[in-house]
Amino acid sequence: MATPASRRQTAADAGAATDDTRVLLALAVLYGAMSFLVYRVIHMHHVAPLGPDAPPGEFSEGRVLQHLRRLAADIPSRQEGSPGLEAAAQYIKGQLEGLAAHAVAEYRIEVEETLVSGSFSMMFLRHRVTLGYRNHKNIVMRISSNVSEEDEPSLLVNGHFDSPLGSPGAADCGSCVASMLELSRLIIESGWVPPRPVIFLFNGAEELFLLGSHGFIKTHKWNSTIGAFINIEASGSGGAGICRTYLSMDCASYMQDMFGIIPGDTDYRIFAEDIANIPGLDIIFVLGGYFYHTSYDTLENLIPGSIQARGENLFNLIKAFTNSSMLLKESERYNKSVNDKINNLRAIFFDYMTWFMIFYPRDVSLILHSLPVAVFLLTPLFLNFPKITMMSMFRTILDLARGM
């Protein structure tokens, strides 16, 4: 027969079990809501793509898709040496020349078709590769004010229009060059005259070990004027995109380490590391990486909203770079670094679910990142205060280690 004490204990146990269930249910709802929110953010559900009839002063994903349909659907393939690559080059050149013909007098627009040749060596997967190439085609457009100088510091925006064997290359990197066509139209038709020249490099040989960008940075007449660059790439079919940087900060700092592991590279390497030493950004689609370099890299598999978000960000970046007093050509960067004794220590720089950016200098990061270690080591002191002994500290640290 149950005693009053045992009944009270049973009721207490039941109440505790109910409280535990409520806590677990609340945690499940919280984590479910957070997962749903993260899913919507990384799949760009919060971005509304603009259609082809969007105002001319806005970046439009719909207009990008019109270019992309021509490049990745109507043209069968864009591999180096194929007729499709030449067709893509002529389409891009025709679009740029059409923009130049309708530009108002405040702009100076220059469009060039160039053939590049050269040779160089690079390390790839811990092996040295030596490359020689000849007559690879690049299309270059320079947008500047009608009073700009030929040797004025400029911003380079780069994307490649060749695609890998067996892939339509809708994301990689038809989406890049189609976005660049829309960006060049936006600059001209919006009435915004860039305070510094903007050079759009549509390079035709990235998949073959970055030959197009190497040819430009080694041989083109504007190569010494580049003060910064933005490289647009795709290793997936969309998403918020990630970026790495050779600025005085790291955009998602961990990406600098990841690119030492991933068996692949982009034109960023040519501009910032191996050949030149130019500050810049590498902006890359990574979501849907299972379509990358396959026959499924098609328009249908692009994630809606991704091109819209990237394009709006790129336009704002172009404005920020060209308005910056730090946009300096090579000789000016060297003189400034010597005179000012600049120590290019990289900081920590990342976004929180695309909502806002978090940035702090490297000196501050050493303190912030050491705090967890300090808390871990000091916890035994607080838990055993004021009766602190070596044995009690050791036991507490051991318990913490077991809990981890």
What integer pLDDT is reported at residue 306 of this predicted model?
93
CA separation (Å) from 93 to 137, 150, 172, 282, 366? 11, 22, 19, 24, 49
Q: Tokens 């549509």 sit at which residue?
A: 202
Q: Can you tell me the distance from the alpha carbon of 173 to that of 163, in angstroms, rounded to the nearest whole number?
A: 7
Q: Can you tell me the distance from the alpha carbon of 149 to that of 157, in angstroms, rounded to the nearest whole number?
A: 19
Output the pTM of the full model.
0.84
What integer pLDDT is reported at residue 125 of this predicted model?
78
User: The tokens of 164 are what?
Assistant: 């890998």
Which residue did the predictor score with more confidence, 126 or 156? 156
Among residues of the chain, what percentage have pLDDT more than 90? 57
Structure confidence by residue, pLDDT tens digits, 225-262: 999 999 999 988 987 766 665 443 335 555 665 665 66
| 154 and 195 Cβ atoms separated by less than 8 Å | no
Question: Among 73, 34, 322, 275, which residue's Cα sits nearest to residue 178?
Answer: 73
Structure confidence by residue, pLDDT tens digits, 149-196: 999 999 999 999 999 999 999 999 999 999 999 999 999 999 999 999
Question: Among 141, 174, 223, 217, which residue's Cα sits nearest to residue 71?
Answer: 174
What integer pLDDT is reported at residue 356 of this predicted model?
77
| For the ranges 270-274, 338-342, 351-355, 394-398, the one whose mean pLDDT is highest | 270-274
Structure confidence by residue, pLDDT tens digits, 261-315: 666 689 999 999 899 999 998 898 888 889 999 999 999 999 999 999 999 999 9
Which residue did the predictor score with more confidence, 342 or 201? 201
